[in-house]
Every structure is written in C-alpha cells, then in structure tokens.
Structure 1
Amino acid sequence: MGAAITRAQIVEVADRLFYEQGFEATSFADIAAAVRLSRGNFYYHFRTKDDLLGAVIALRLANTEAMLDGWEGATPDPVERIRSFVRILIMNRARIMLYGCPVGTLCDELSKLRHVAKDDAAKLFMLFRRWLSLQFAALGREADADALALHALMRSQGIATLATAFQDEGFIQREVEDLLAWVEAQRPHQDRPTSETRPQP
C-alpha cells in the first residue's frame, strides 16, 4: 500500500472517529488500531494529533466544496439548491441522532478547548453561509441574502441539536418539512408556483 493511500485512510478514519467519539477523546492508538498500523508507521504520516486534525478539517472542507458544487450544477433553481442543503438532515438523520451535526460538534468542542484550529473548523460553516447567501441572492433576495443564509443555518443546527437530544425522528421530519416550506416562501411572488398558498414571512 502506497504512502499516499495510507495517509488518506488515516485521515478518513480520524474524521469518522473525531465525529463519533470527539476529538479530545480519540487517541492516536484508536486511529492506528482502526487503520491496522503500528504506532511507528502511524507517526511516519502524522507526528502530532493537531497535524492530523488539520488534515481532517482540510478533508471536510474539500468534501463540502464538492457537495456544494454538485448541488450548484444539479439544477438552475436556487430554491431547489437550498432545499438540497436542508435535506441533509433527512439523509443523515440516523447519524445526527447518534452524534449530532459533524460541523457543529467539532466547532463546539474546539471552541471549548480553545484550540488553535477552532477558526479553521469554523470555515466549514462559512462555506455553507457564503453558498446559501449566493443562492438567496440568485433568488432575488440580494438585500437580505446573508441574513436568510444565517437563518437557514441556525434552523438546521437547531434541528440537529434537538434531534440528538430527543432521539425523535418524527421531530426531524416535521421540522425539515417546515424549513422546506420556509425556503419555498422566500421566492419572489411572481416566481412562486400557482399552488403556493403560504404567506410571505
């Protein structure tokens, strides 16, 4: 197995374990055992846990950018693109109920630890914020696009947090449907489907 492949496997396993167990609670030994590497071979690729954390954050950023690019190219309708963001909560509901939002939990933990990488982790939220703001602007809501983006982020994080606390899949479904309706209501009146009956908030 090549060094690049081994390194990528280490980062992928660390990404999963940091999410499921937390950054602080996950040791090098945990990761080395999951990848089936000796400690010596492990240290060849990463000398410190902080180096590995940086690689995990870089992987998450790259994966998030690829996901956003995929949504961007999937449809010309900005509302449908925003709906793709909301539907993550349904697609990942089982893991969210177990472990929370992978972005929110990492940012929260690193902030509590006052870790130097907390600002790098927050770049994941900034990616979503900028992307959502662009979608609302494309919808004709340039003046309040960033506020709408933050509102969508806030609601999605609230749903994820309470889903973890209450372990209630029905709650996720209801709240996601309500959030999707809110997104649809942001269309300019002339662009709404004729069946649209919800009032503009």
Structure 2
Amino acid sequence: MKGNAAKGKQKRGAQRRDALIQAAAALFWIKGYSGTSLADVAKTSGVPLGNLYYYYKTKADLALGVANFFVDETTQLIEAVSQEKSDPRERLRFLVERMRATQGKRLSYGCPISAACRDFRETAPEASARAGESFALLIAFIAQELAKTGRKPSVALVKARHVIAEWQGGIALAHGLQQPNVLAETYARMERTLSG
C-alpha cells in the first residue's frame, strides 16, 4: 500500500514539474523572461506558488528547466526524423517539413529557442547556453546527414550552419513583418540548399 502511495506522489510530482515547464516555456516565449513572474507561471500551470518553489528554487532554475525541455524536444525531433526515413536526403526533407509545421506560432512570437538564448543570458547564463545546444544539435544532425550524401565534412558543417541561420533569419523577418510568405520562402530555400 505504501508503495502505491509513493508511486502516486511521484507521478503527481512529475505532472506538476511538467506543467510548470510547459507554462514557463509558453510564458517566457510570449511575454518574455523578464515580463513573466513565478506567480504567472504558477497560475498558468495550476500549481500553487508555494509548491513551485519545491521544484524550482529560483527563476533561473526554471529557465534551465525550460532550456532542458528545448534540448529534449530537439533530440526527440531528430530521433523521430531518423526513425521515419533511412535515406539522408529524405531525412533532411522530412526535417524541414517538421520545422515548417511550427511556423504559425513562430510567425506570431518568433523562435522560442532564440528568445531563450537572448533573454536568459544575463540572469541565467547556464540556461542560455543550454538552450543554444538545441541549435548545435540541429547543426550536427544536418551536417552528419549531408556528409552521408558525399559532401566533405567541413562543407557539410558550413551548409548545416547556413540552413539554421536561414531558418532563424526567416523566423525573425517573418515575425517582424508579420508576413507568412517570408517563412514559406525560407523553407523553400532551406530545401534547395539541403538537396543541392
């Protein structure tokens, strides 16, 4: 009986932690890190403010949790793309398709990873660096797949960086201009770069 109670408590704890991270990620993205209070996160997550401190002692700790969430999401994306397709070119096309699927929110709010890197840097530098690892993972994956198509590793790395820079620039410009066609053009250029 005690074992079941302990498992139930652990499950509730994991659910609360997840709710806090989901709420913080959304609020930091939409309202900005400095514009979001821990009380905002608690209210949005449905977790009492006093309980929030049990999981995250400081806002910087919560920022690190959000950054870890971004890295986990990126890792899961790469794993899903790798399992879905076996051909490197098909994997890269599928990766761009998956990125394209998130364009609506990015048009509205910009890139959450980029925002985290920028917004966390001053008061939560560890979280800023950790969020940036999401970009490093994408670059490494793209470079690896490009190398499998016969490109030299150094050329593959430069192309991979170019693609991620294109993606981020397209998001920033589309968000700033509020023009969805800018992102559509960006994804088309990314596909051409990766297939050429």
- TM-score, scaled relative to structure 1: 0.84
The more displaced of 12-21 and 36-45 is 36-45
Q: Which residue identity is paired with 2:88?
A: P
Matched residues, number: 184
Tell me if 1:116 matches 2:104.
no
Measure the CA separation in 2 of the matches of 1:42 and 1:105. Answer: 23
Divergent runs of 4+, >4 A: none
Measure the CA separation in 2 of the matches of 1:49 and 1:84. Answer: 36
Matches within 5 A, 1:105-144: 105-111=115-121, 113=122, 115-117=124-126, 118-143=128-153, 144=155
Q: Report SS of the residue matched to 1:26.
A: coil
Q: Which residue identity is paired with 1:47?
A: K
Deviation at 1:155, TM superposition (A): 0.7
Deviation at 1:89, TM superposition (A): 4.5
Q: Do 2:30 and 2:109's aligned partners in 1 also have CA atoms closer than 8 Å?
A: yes
Match of 2:79 in 1: 69
Deviation at 1:88, TM superposition (A): 4.0
Deviation at 1:50, TM superposition (A): 1.0
Q: Which residue identity is paired with 2:90?
A: E
Q: Which residue identity is paired with 2:125?
A: V
Tell me if 1:3 matches 2:8.
no
Q: Can you give the 5+ residue segments of structure 1 that lack an aligned partner in the other structure?
A: 186-201
Deviation at 1:14, TM superposition (A): 0.9
Measure the CA separation in 2 of the matches of 1:103 and 1:133. Answer: 20
Deviation at 1:182, TM superposition (A): 2.4
Match of 2:88 in 1: 78
Q: Report SS of the residue matched to 2:188.
A: helix
Measure the CA separation in 2 of the matches of 1:53 and 1:115. Answer: 7
What's the % identity of the aligned pairs?
Answer: 25
Q: Do 1:101 and 1:157's aligned partners in 2 also have CA atoms closer than 8 Å?
A: yes
Matches within 5 A, 1:1-201: 2-111=12-121, 113=122, 115-117=124-126, 118-143=128-153, 144-185=155-196
Q: Which residue identity is paired with 2:190?
A: L
Deviation at 1:75, TM superposition (A): 1.0
Does the C-alpha gap of structure 1 residues 91 and 109 become closer, same or farther in structure 2, counting only changes over 3 Å? same
Match of 2:4 in 1: none
Measure the CA separation in 2 of the matches of 1:131 and 1:166. Answer: 30
Q: Which residue identity is paired with 1:13?
A: A
Measure the CA separation in 2 of the matches of 1:82 and 1:47. Answer: 40
Q: Can you give the 5+ residue segments of structure 2 that lack an aligned partner in the other structure?
A: 1-8
Higher-helix-fraction structure: 2
Match of 1:197 in 2: none
Measure the CA separation in 1 of the matches of 2:99 and 2:86. Answer: 22
Measure the CA separation in 1 of the matches of 2:74 and 2:50. Answer: 32
Q: Report SS of the residue matched to 1:37.
A: coil
Measure the CA separation in 2 of the matches of 1:125 and 1:90. Answer: 16
Q: Report SS of the residue matched to 1:47.
A: coil
